[in-house]
Structure 1
Amino acid sequence: MTDERMQIIMGLIMAGGNAKNCAVEAITAAKNGDFALAEEKLKDANQAIVDAHNVQTDMLTKEAQGEHTEIDLYMVHAQDHLMTGITFVDLAKEIIAVYKRLDEEGK
């Protein structure tokens, strides 16, 4: 495996992990009533997803141009991390909305 390929894979894993971590931090902030911090953490999570999406777009472009991307356990693992991160971000948005609603109803 080339260093370039390993960098791509590790970048996807890190982006997914960062997105998940920021989403969890956003939920915790909302739970504590700090909705500004929750929104900031969601923005950070979304940026991690965008960064990974850009890598994927580059891979898809190269594939369309005839440069085949090898699919191995490393790539599957990277994609799994990314999808988990995306799922966490989506769920965090819903949980934060619930916390906001409970906060508004409690006032």
Structure 2
Amino acid sequence: MEDKIIEISFGIIGYAGDAKGLAFEAISESKKGNIEKARNLIKESKEAIQKAHRYQTELIQNEAQGNKTEMSVILVHAQDHLMNAMNFQQLSEEFIDLYERLEEKAVQI
């Protein structure tokens, strides 16, 4: 089971990292005025988060069936990556909205 936990942990880390990277790229694109591209990047970021969640759900279902998951630093690290990516994704959406509003104001001036 330990090998499976490591596999799941690295799945979470990988997809969460992808999601955070896409969200960061979305901020950069919105800063350049590419709002539509930024929104598409956030959509991709959310798809990556969903994949990470599937790994996490596997752990939760396993534990719900009575199979205790032994905690490891790698698993804690994976959960940390996932939560940080989710928070960063939400913050990125706020930045995109802000840059979009600034763009609209600039056009009005």
Same fold per superposition (TM over 0.5): yes
Query: Residue deviations 1:58-107, cap 9 Å, x none?
Result: 21111110111111111101111111111110100000000000011111
Match for 1:53: what amino acid?
H
Residue segments in structure 1 that go unaligned for 5+ positions in a row = none
Query: Residue deviations 1:43-71, cap 9 Å, x none?
Result: 11101111111111121111110111111
Look up the match of 1:55: 55
Q: Secondary structure at the match of 1:70?
A: coil
Measured in 1, the distance between the counterparts of 2:58 and 2:50 equals 12
Paired residues in the alignment total: 107
- Using the aligned pairs only, state the percent identity: 41
Measured in 2, the distance between the counterparts of 1:41 and 1:105 equals 23
Look up the match of 2:37: 37
TM-score w.r.t. the length of structure 2 is 0.92
Displacement of 1:3 after TM fit?
3.3
State whether structure 2 residue 57 is matched by structure 1 residue 66: no
Look up the match of 1:83: 83
Residue segments in structure 2 that go unaligned for 5+ positions in a row = none
TM-score w.r.t. the length of structure 1 is 0.94
State whether structure 2 residue 16 is matched by structure 1 residue 16: yes
